[in-house]
Amino acid sequence: MVTEGSRSCVSPLLRLQVSAEADSQVLSRVLERFQNLNLLPRRVVAEFGSGHLMHIQVDVFGVTEERLSLIASKIGQCPAVLGAHWHYA
């Protein structure tokens, strides 16, 4: 059981969502950001959507909101990436 006082000590599960053009290098570019920081995602989902789009979800644990915001910003600068944002999973 998690009490209100102990909740601040527990790191939340965060989800990064990326929308990109259907490019063969996008998935590796997204995961490369985590590899460079020696972070292992808990889950990665990549699927093709309509209109030649790719949707990628990366669930991470033990990362601060500030760090994931920086990661999302860097991923958003990658070629073929249309947008990247995070939220609580």
Q: What angle do CA 61, 72, 49 make, to 5 degrees?
A: 95
CB distance 10 to 61 below 8 Å: no
Per-domain boundaries in the chain: 11-88
Query: What is the CATH number assigned to the segment(s) 11-88?
Result: 3.30.70.260
- The kind and range of the H/E element at 56 are strand 53-61
Mean of the pLDDT values across residues 33-51?
Answer: 95
Amino acid letter at 28?
S
Q: What's the confidence (pLDDT) of residue 6? A: 46
| pLDDT band (50, 70, 90) for residue 10 | confident
Mean of the pLDDT values across residues 59-70?
Answer: 96
State the residue for tokens 């920081």.
37
Name the DSSP class of 37.
Answer: T
pTM: 0.87
Interhelix angle for 65-76 vs 26-36, to 10°?
140
Bridge-partner residues for 18, per DSSP? 56, 84
